[in-house]
Amino acid sequence: MTDLSTSVLCPALFLSAPSSGEGKTTITAALARYFTTQGKVVRVFKTGPDYLDPQILAQASGQDVEQLDLWMAGDKYCQQKLFEAAQTADLILVEGAMGMFDGDPSSADLAARFNIPIAIVMNVKGMAQTAAALAMGMANYRDDVKVAGLIANNCGTERHAELIRDALPKNLPLLATLARDPEVALPERHLGLVQADEVRDELEQRFTLGAQWIKGPLAEPNAIIDLPEAVEFFSAEIAPVAPLLVGKRIAIAKDAAFSFIYDANLRLLQEMGAELVFFSPLFDQQLPEADALWLPGGYPELHAKALSENKAIKEQIKRFHQLGKPILAECGGFLYCLEDLTDLGDQVYPMSAVIAGHGAMRGKRGCQGMQTAMLPEGAVQAHAHHRSRSHATPEPIAYGKRQRHPAPGEAIYREQGLTASYLHLFFASNPEAIAAIFSGQYESKTD
């Protein structure tokens, strides 16, 4: 008999694909909404460093969405988060990243580690039996990966679905189809999907249509419309984090310009005892009383004019820095700390000038990938994802360490209390280092 204190059973499905752009988020959101309308509690996880997809999936499911990544978060962290979700959920959905076997570790590695069956999401536009051949190849590529079946996205007609269904072996069923419908596909922009808060009503319409297609006329009877098989999830028995930030009040920029914030990062700060308060560099005229400041990533380039015109908050942030108080600035937050920012229309706008240097957007050129922030306080797992550049900046104190390439990664700057970089940090990978940054117990550039 299963000991529910250390393990729990919960239906689970991992959504993966041959490549990016196949419609994983659209399908995952449609499934989440379909099962929530059936009265089920659906917990969704997103593989890898992603801020935008989780916002959308959270709206579709009505539940917080966590990141799962064996490299970024670690094995035990992922194990514990799945275990905790399984205790209250009727269904766990995990959306993969990139292609099924891309990356190290890959989506397939994560699914295999926790024995979660995979549904292959494939854009079948322009092919029929070939979709079955590709799905069979993916299903049989590794012995440790269990594939539940195929979900055909952009499937045109019942005849199209029939051709794919008949070409699949019995042990690899066509689980569901999603028709060619631009009203269902999710809206995008230059760094990926749009932020959920910007198009909330539009997303609701797309979720509703997606859920209807899941159980629509092309759906395979008794397949995806039923809960998948239960998976046993085990506790990792992780010790609580130390209360390293008790008595610290951290002000966090959060609005349309600064929204790239992992819920896991917020939760960790609170678990370490910090009080969190949010403010908007776009609209607020007064910086909250705080011991430390966090300027996360986002889309400052889309709001550069408004950010530039809010001189009151810029001056207060600059004064905060001059007092030597701790500031963490990540990617978009780093751009905001520079002297000015050139947007996608080549317009130059003054920023807060906390640190010397200039930022400029680069269209489709940029940098992305997993890196370790080699901070004096310790290594913190992170990632880069930007289409801008900076120049005339100070001498870095360190560089990110790329996951698979020997070249130096993103520069890391530190002046007085400011720690700034293009890197987005995953706090749980080194809570002690994060606590040191926000408490001011770090090594400055001149130490």
**Catalytic residue IDs:** 331
Could you give the CA distance from residue 282 to residue 303 in angstroms, rounded to a whole number?
A: 8
Amino acid in the structure at residue 218 = L
d(C-alpha 85, C-alpha 121), whole Å: 23
Q: What 3-state DSSP class applies to 43?
A: strand
> In this structure, how many other beta carbons lie within 10 angstroms of the beta carbon of residue 1?
3
Rounded-to-integer distance, Cα 156 and Cα 176, Å: 13
The pairing of beta strand 367-375 with beta strand 358-361: unpaired
Strand 42-47 with 66-68, pairing: parallel
What's the gap between Cα 137 and its chain centre? 28
Q: How far apart are CA 153 and CA 138, in angstroms?
A: 17
Strand, helix or coil at 116?
coil
Cα three-residue angle 141-147-151, rounded to 5 degrees: 115
**Dihedral angle sign, alpha carbons of residues 372, 374, 377, 378:** positive
CA–CA–CA angle 428, 433, 437 (5° rounding):
115
